[in-house]
Amino acid sequence: MQFKLNPKNPSSTGLRVIPVFENQVSDILTEKNLQKTIPSPLFSGKKDSQFSFEIEGQLVLLIGLGENPDYKTVENSLRRVLSKQSSLIEKEVLLDFPAEMDESHVEAALVGFKLGAYSIGFYKKEKPKDHSKLKVEIITSLKKAKDLAARAGKIADAKIEAFKLVDLPPNKITPENLGDWAKNLGKKFELNVKVWDSKKAKSEKLEAFLAVGRGSAKDPRFIIIEYRHPKASKHVGLVGKGVTFDTGGLNIKTQGMHHMKSDMGGAAAVLATTQLVADLGLHLNLTSIVPAVENAIDKDAYLPSEVIGSHAGLSIEVIDTDAEGRLILADGLSYLIKNYAPDQVIDLATLTGSAIGTFGYECAALFTNDGTISYGLQSAGEEIGEKSWPLPLWESFGKEMDSEIADIKNYHGKPFAGAITAAKFLQAFTHEHPAWAHLDIAGVAFSDTEFAKTKTGTAYGVGLLLRYFESIL
């Protein structure tokens, strides 16, 4: 897809797309020199509405945005063009933005338009329509429009990578594949990338991580990516849960296993965010860790009631093998903090059904010991349409994880406070880091959307982290 800014002779044959704010239809049509009267009951620019007409041989599509659209509304509105109406577009399209659209609106529109080309039909005999060579002309009065378009393209590229990592099947996205993905990223952006197999992980005492992967024929990978900028004043560490498929282990899942390829949504967000930070050249030091495993069952699978070790030196009583994500995150967090000492640490994980029980599919559950991070992540999420809401980290919940035989147990085994007790388990492996946040994204990383007939990846976390990083720089 090729963006061309403010062409001298805009296309008069390709589809002309004009976003419209509510109750500004007449003004915007006048601004665009379109001699057309549209009765308000027919189209007034309401959110999620569309209206098309032909004028002088060109098809014009008006996209209603509503009165005060947020970022996600604009993104989704433009995503529908290619996702649902690609038959209207052949070789070129004209995105004609009114003067009322600010930088955030235009960025969201361009991101959304490019996302519309994404399809999960990877293995269909009849391939989805290819928009890679589509010529996209853009008309906008904004300054630095070229930079804005380039930025939007990079954001969309990162989100599409996050989509793919979650949506591709588990025989394609394996721990080894995630390691190769990281290596390729390192080559492209000259990043320092380490990908450790089980032998190296054992020498680093990543015992909880290794226990989870014991039952799989696919060797685990512990992935570390270092992005450094010479003008950076802050160092942030990210950890993403990378369970490429989760059977539940010997505590086998009894329903919904078909969707467990998505149990690496946190890893997808972290990897895609790392790509975006490098692509944009943010003035930030970033260390990203993805513990990647498959939680499977065979003669070597770890057992309920086992006591296993951890990088932090704490012994862990395994109550439930389906509480595996917190085990690999424990080693990821401990290794990151002990070896890199970042200023802030954020982990993302599709961790608990309890988070879905609390918030449904509306937002992530946020846990943090730092009020500034809490406010920053919540504010960034509100702005970008990737919301989170805080839950407490009271010590009384931590006592639920006390073990009689070991330092801590991985599951309290009770039908309440599942997301909170999981967060308290993780906190035990943060070495009392003063600025740590945990995002339980179980309800928002893989969802039903209007853009597919099945659950698909949402790239939750990519836009959120970008907006948050830029707010602290």
Which amino acids are annotated catalytic?
253, 326
Residue whose pair of structure tokens reads 């109750």 in the numeric block: 23
**Token pair in block for residue 322:** 């389906």
- Report yes or no: 196 and 219 within 8 Å, Cβ to Cβ: no
Helices 175-189 and 265-280 cross at an angle (nearest 10°) of 10
**How far is the C-alpha of 80 from the C-alpha of 235, rounded, in Å?**
37
- CA angle, 444 then 217 then 301, to 5°: 80
Q: Is 370 exposed, middle or buried (0-12, 13-18, 19+ CB in 10 A)?
A: middle
Query: How many angstroms separate the Cα of 419 from the Cα of each of 169, 368, 424, 426?
Result: 27, 13, 9, 11
Contact (Cβ atoms closer than 8 angstroms) between residue 345 and residue 337: yes
**What residues contact residue 145 under an 8 Å CB cut-off, 6+ apart?**
5, 6, 106, 138
The amino acid occupying position 457 is G
Q: For Cα atoms 275, 281, 286, give the angle at the middle one, nearest 5 degrees.
A: 60
Query: Which secondary-structure segment (H or E) carries 46?
Result: none
